[in-house]
Structure 1
Amino acid sequence: MTIQQYSVNQHPIQTLLTWIESGEIAIPEIQRPFVWNATKVRDLLDSLYKGYPIGYLIAWRNPNVKLKDGTTSEGKRILIDGQQRVTALMAALLGKEVLNSDYKKVRIRIAFNPIEKKFEVSNSAIRKNKAWISDISQVLSPNVKILELVSKYCSDNDTTDQNEIFSSIELLRGIVNNHIGLIELNSSLDIETVTEIFIRINSKGVVLSQADFAMSKIASNEVYGGNTLRKCIDYFCHLSISPEFYSKIKEVDNEFAQTDYFRKMSWLKNENEDLYNPSYTDMLRVAFTSEFKRGRLEDLVALLSGRNFETREYVEEIAEKSYKKLEAGILNFMNETNFKRFLMIIKSAGFIDSSMIGSRNALNFAYIVYLTLRNQSIDQATIESLVRKWYVMSVLTGRYSSSPESAFDSDIRRIDEYGVEKTLKNIEDAELSVAFWDTGLPQQLNSSVASSPYFKVYLASQVKMNDKGFLSKDITVRDLITHRGDVHHIFPKNYLKKYGFNRNKYNQIANYVYMQSEINIAIGDKSPADYFKQLKDQIISKNKVYGNIVESEELRKNFEMNCIPDDMENMTINDYDYFLDKRRMLMSQKIKLYYETL
């Protein structure tokens, strides 16, 4: 027999709004910016007025929880789809304020023309036009005297029919009696099932992440301060991108501005570093995994619900403890010392610019490693080396690029059992063997994608080793990356195109070097055989044609640090594939040497 996984019921809009105001249905997004524009709100009301369906709301009931006194608390519903529609209705019909993109509380006023039976976004022109009721929330107010309102409207618009106006306004007031579908998902369902049901029901095919469910769960709990913790996460992420937002928080949310959370994130107001601008998903992953030693956010939702994984019951003490533990993880994440020292370590590995950060999950787990080691009071030098190696290892192996939650869960459990150093050594033995450096990595470098993580690691190795740009005497790769220098082709692009090579072929990352633009312009479309011969002549004549290097040893070192193969002055178009193979091997060996120095 199939178990009913959800129920579907039709409820008057007024009933749903009452449930939401009383807290029987929690809207976790109510403290976040309202993303609909006023025109969309107007269209929603127009659909209701005409009797058109406006879709279903989806709620997921929290499990019943055993309280400390032995009684059971019935779980309330969390609205996981329909927040924007419900917020729009509360704003327009009840006159509730909403948060705009600047987190300022604003009113959305929708006007109604009873003669034309038409809705419009209220503006100054409409407010001056007596044919319009400038704010429909006044019509729906329980204190409104409908006969007086109709009488006044008709006296202001003397050509109108009183019965017709009364009918139009009564139809407007009847909007709250229209029914809307509410799909209630069973509390016993796991996140994967809820997600699948959500996608199948939701015609837009929107996908909710496990982080979305976790944030909804956090926000719905006011007993243990989840609603404030949710704000903390949102505000921190917003501040990390827009430091000027600090003053707006003080202005629009004075209650939050008085909290310890706000004080502990205040350092961001003067911070312009953009190497790591975390999303709420990043914060949750790092805080949860580092504190709970688990990697699946589904488990976080269960623990915040009070789940006992052994008895499969839901117990209040577990929920309370889990909120406290998550709060500790969030505070550790946003701690100024932790955050800045972690980024300093990543930069010391050569990743000095946000353009060099490809895998956010690799960065997240590196931060988890850092927080884990800090908690163990390990010396700073060891922490730095292990964090650098873990980050580069995970980028090179694509460790968190697919099924990241499974990888997070597996790695943190191993670290919890064996420690970071032994776990890292086991991974290196298995995945960074001689075969990887001699065969695997060169094959990965066979790519035309400039955003390749392997190319980013190669560039980081050049930064770490303080390499000069190709043919540069003084300008470093670090300088060129920092000041948005250009990547150029060793075998010039137009030279290769002339011989029929396509984009995939001439844009091979093994053909890329960071080079000063003026040197690249001087080289133009010349074949390597031509301009490398001229470079040798430059050493003899001291006549600077390409850059300022005029000493043979200095040129040799520049070739070495840029992984330039020997005999370039003899290479023609027929040697291009040989050149690529040779340079990939040199790049791989450079990355290997770099990794060993981390």
Structure 2
Amino acid sequence: MADLTIREILDLVLRGQIRIPAFQRGFVWDPEKVAFLMDSIYKGYPFGSLLLWRTREQLRHEKQLGPFPLPERDPDYPIDYVLDGQQRITSIFGVFQTEIRPDPTVEWANVYFDLSADPDAQESQFVALRPEQVDSRRHFPLDTLFRPVEYRRTTERFGDQDLVRIDDMQARFKEARIPYQLLTTEDRAKVAIVFERINRMGVPLDTLQLLTAWTWSEDFELQRAFEDLRDELEPFGFAGVGEDSNLLLRCCAAILAGDASPTALIRLRGADVRTRFKEIVNGVKGAIDFLRINVNVQTVANLPFSTILVPLSVFFASPGEQFVQVTDEQRARLVRWFWRSCFSRRYSSGVLRNLRDDIQAVSMLKEGRPNTLGDFPVVVKPDFFTSTEFRLNTVNTTTFILLLAQQRPLNFVSGQQVAMEKVLREYNRSEFHHLYPRAFLTRVGVPVNQHSVLANFCFLSKADNATLGGDAPSAYRERMPTVVDEILQRALCPLSLFSNDYQQFLAERSELLKRTAEALMQ
């Protein structure tokens, strides 16, 4: 591993060689954290290394170095883009340089060596201060250390004992070495993979997100196109799709390259994305229409996996004003694949591998060729419904809710059909309640951890739940309309609901739910 002196870092930044790619997050360290880094360098503590990507080709879009606008680069030198260590390199540059004024809208404070601080192994001897907080008798500015004239002038006001400490401090920073690794390549796919891996242990940043910064920004305003698509989808309850740039980028790569991986995406040409974007939009819209009509999905929150949209968008992608005509056989195959993907939790792991297989299979289905779409093993057992807790926004609960929605359930109090579109769009906990009330289960001694399993839930609004109350099912039956049998049938609920025998009810309903799930996957 090589290293750089602080002086070398200052020179590299000032001549425009060290730069920040647009896909990096912004500078987030507060002044106190910057001062703490100075203390670590001063005391010789490890503080991590930098990772620089050296390339001859300048990116179309870059960020400034924290609050500092970067100077134009010298074309005779390569570019070193910071892949890891932006916070550290920005702090080091900002503390010691004086040539570039920081953006006044960004929080920044100069750092000082506090001569009154005890030389403690743990406590910092450096402080970040605003001008009015500086005491010139105890605070020595670090931005003078690499400017000999200013350094000599500033030291004149200190006594001999303090000068010894100041000179020692300056020497430590001049001798400090900042370790770095250098990745030299013009292969951006390799850079994307490296960047994703170094970020995996911190705040997640999907490789697909960063690729928009260097692939299409100048030739095609991809973000604006995504925003326009969001506006088009909002009236239908799917604005969330347009807001999920990661999902849309996967759809782009799948439609244009037949592969949703970062490598496939980065190899796309900006012109292809621009000229074929209508095809991508048609694919996404067609996928959403299919889900709304065939499985009652009313918002992206209803999907156990939003990734399901990716293969579907490939099937429905079409140029211009053309639309894909779906045969009954194709529709049945797609619906079967949807349910098998949900109940098998297909996109919980091995996402790229499974996407690749499903994209290939759905493309063959679209062309009328033999395919294996949905031909993967799935087993649904009754205990799926008796051992899984009902929790919104989890894969199993979302799948269960969609399963119930297929039956066009009826209101337990009025007997009228539940307004599924409204309920699923709002999609909140108040629309689902226990069939066996928790108050009743507590009275008869059922353990709390068995109260809220999937098999004990149905579509039941907060108001209707209050009407039925916390009584035994046999008691609240009297408050239900005369069409009780049809209500139970549409709710996939056995007559044993009214037996007041919770365990018998769970056993019978979970079996009924299991058989219904299997029928959807046939």
Q: After TM superposition, is the score higher than 0.5?
A: yes
SS at the partner of 1:507?
A: coil
2:390 equivalent to 1:450: yes
CA separation in 1, counterparts of 2:132 and 2:150?
26
2:341 equivalent to 1:394: yes
Preserved CA contact (<8 Å) 1:448 1:508: yes
The correspondence of residues 424-435 of structure 1 with structure 2, limited to 5 A, is 426-428=372-374, 430-431=375-376
CA separation in 1, counterparts of 2:108 and 2:249?
32
2:169 equivalent to 1:171: yes
Given candidates 86, 89, 92, the residue that maps to 1:89 is 92
Query: CA deviation digits over 1:126-154, x for unaligned, max 9?
Result: 16x545769754x3675963333444xx3
Given candidates 36, 49, 55, the residue that maps to 1:56 is 49
2:116 equivalent to 1:116: yes
Given candidates 360, 365, 375, the residue that maps to 2:306 is 360
Letter in 1 for 2:490: M
| Structure (1 or 2) with the greater helix fraction | 1
- The alpha-carbon distance between structure 1 residues 479 and 193, as it changes in their structure 2 partners (threshold 3 A), is closer
Letter in 1 for 2:358: D
* Equivalent residue, structure 1, for 2:495: 566
SS at the partner of 2:415?
A: coil
Query: CA deviation digits over 1:289-335, x for unaligned, max 9?
Result: 3222224324556x4xxxxxxxxxxxxxxxxxx44367549956996
Given candidates 180, 183, 189, the residue that maps to 2:181 is 183
* Equivalent residue, structure 1, for 2:259: 294
2:26 equivalent to 1:28: no
CA separation in 2, counterparts of 1:492 and 1:110?
62
Question: How much has 1:446 moved relative to structure 2?
Answer: 4.3
CA separation in 2, counterparts of 1:333 and 1:17?
48
The correspondence of residues 459-498 of structure 1 with structure 2, limited to 5 A, is 459-460=401-402, 462-463=404-405, 466-474=408-416, 475-481=418-424, 482=426, 484=428, 485-498=430-443
Preserved CA contact (<8 Å) 2:42 2:173: yes
- The alpha-carbon distance between structure 1 residues 576 and 277, as it changes in their structure 2 partners (threshold 3 A), is same
Preserved CA contact (<8 Å) 1:58 1:183: yes
Question: How much has 1:43 moved relative to structure 2?
Answer: 0.9
- The alpha-carbon distance between structure 1 residues 405 and 584, as it changes in their structure 2 partners (threshold 3 A), is same
The correspondence of residues 321-360 of structure 1 with structure 2, limited to 5 A, is 322-324=268-270, 327-328=273-274, 343=288, 345-348=290-293, 349-360=295-306
* Equivalent residue, structure 1, for 2:225: 264
CA separation in 1, counterparts of 2:333 and 2:56?
39
CA separation in 1, counterparts of 2:347 and 2:370?
15
Query: CA deviation digits over 1:463-509, x for unaligned, max 9?
Result: 56653343343453444442732422212233334444334433221
The correspondence of residues 582-597 of structure 1 with structure 2, limited to 5 A, is 582-585=511-514, 587-588=516-517, 592=520
* Equivalent residue, structure 2, for 1:379: 324
Question: How much has 1:41 moved relative to structure 2?
Answer: 1.5
* Equivalent residue, structure 2, for 1:282: 247
Query: CA deviation digits over 1:11-58, x for unaligned, max 9?
Result: 213324544555655543676322323321121122223333322223
* Equivalent residue, structure 1, for 2:357: 410
Question: How much has 1:267 moved relative to structure 2?
Answer: 3.6
Q: Structure 2: any 5+ residue segments left out of the alignment?
A: 58-75, 118-124
CA separation in 1, counterparts of 2:373 and 2:285?
27
Preserved CA contact (<8 Å) 1:110 1:134: no
CA separation in 1, counterparts of 2:205 and 2:227?
28
- The alpha-carbon distance between structure 1 residues 277 and 31, as it changes in their structure 2 partners (threshold 3 A), is same
Query: Identity rate of aligned residues, in percent?
Result: 16
- The alpha-carbon distance between structure 1 residues 55 and 578, as it changes in their structure 2 partners (threshold 3 A), is closer
Letter in 2 for 1:119: F
Preserved CA contact (<8 Å) 1:58 1:185: yes
Count of matched residue pairs: 483
Letter in 1 for 2:303: I
CA separation in 1, counterparts of 2:389 and 2:40?
47
Preserved CA contact (<8 Å) 1:24 1:77: yes
Letter in 2 for 1:44: L
Preserved CA contact (<8 Å) 1:24 1:76: yes
* Equivalent residue, structure 1, for 2:122: none
- The alpha-carbon distance between structure 1 residues 581 and 560, as it changes in their structure 2 partners (threshold 3 A), is same
Q: Which segment drifts farther, 564-573 or 326-335? A: 326-335
SS at the partner of 2:50?
A: strand
Query: CA deviation digits over 1:333-363, x for unaligned, max 9?
Result: 996x766665455444423345433323224
Preserved CA contact (<8 Å) 2:27 2:86: no
CA separation in 2, counterparts of 1:483 and 1:198?
35
* Equivalent residue, structure 2, for 1:528: 473
Preserved CA contact (<8 Å) 1:42 1:120: yes
* Equivalent residue, structure 2, for 1:5: none
Letter in 2 for 1:564: C
CA separation in 2, counterparts of 1:369 and 1:582?
34
Preserved CA contact (<8 Å) 2:23 2:211: no
- The alpha-carbon distance between structure 1 residues 502 and 363, as it changes in their structure 2 partners (threshold 3 A), is farther
Question: How much has 1:173 moved relative to structure 2?
Answer: 8.4
SS at the partner of 1:470?
A: coil
- The alpha-carbon distance between structure 1 residues 359 and 331, as it changes in their structure 2 partners (threshold 3 A), is same
Letter in 2 for 1:565: P
Question: How much has 1:512 moved relative to structure 2?
Answer: 0.5
- The alpha-carbon distance between structure 1 residues 145 and 453, as it changes in their structure 2 partners (threshold 3 A), is closer
Question: How much has 1:447 moved relative to structure 2?
Answer: 3.6
Preserved CA contact (<8 Å) 2:255 2:280: no
CA separation in 2, counterparts of 1:327 and 1:140?
51
Question: How much has 1:210 moved relative to structure 2?
Answer: 8.9
* Equivalent residue, structure 1, for 2:152: 147
CA separation in 2, counterparts of 1:190 and 1:32?
19
Question: How much has 1:90 moved relative to structure 2?
Answer: 2.9
Q: Which segment drifts farther, 419-428 or 498-507? A: 419-428
SS at the partner of 1:569?
A: helix
Q: Structure 1: any 5+ residue segments left out of the alignment?
A: 1-7, 65-72, 155-159, 220-224, 233-255, 304-321, 535-544
Preserved CA contact (<8 Å) 1:34 1:98: no
CA separation in 2, counterparts of 1:176 and 1:420?
66
* Equivalent residue, structure 2, for 1:251: none
* Equivalent residue, structure 2, for 1:579: 508
Query: CA deviation digits over 1:539-570, x for unaligned, max 9?
Result: xxxxxx34xx3xx3x43332222112135434
CA separation in 1, counterparts of 2:340 and 2:271?
29
Query: What is the alpha-carbon root mean square deviation over aligned residues?
Result: 4.9
* Equivalent residue, structure 2, for 1:47: 40
* Equivalent residue, structure 2, for 1:243: none
SS at the partner of 2:2?
A: strand
SS at the partner of 2:180?
A: strand
SS at the partner of 1:276?
A: helix
CA separation in 1, counterparts of 2:344 and 2:385?
13
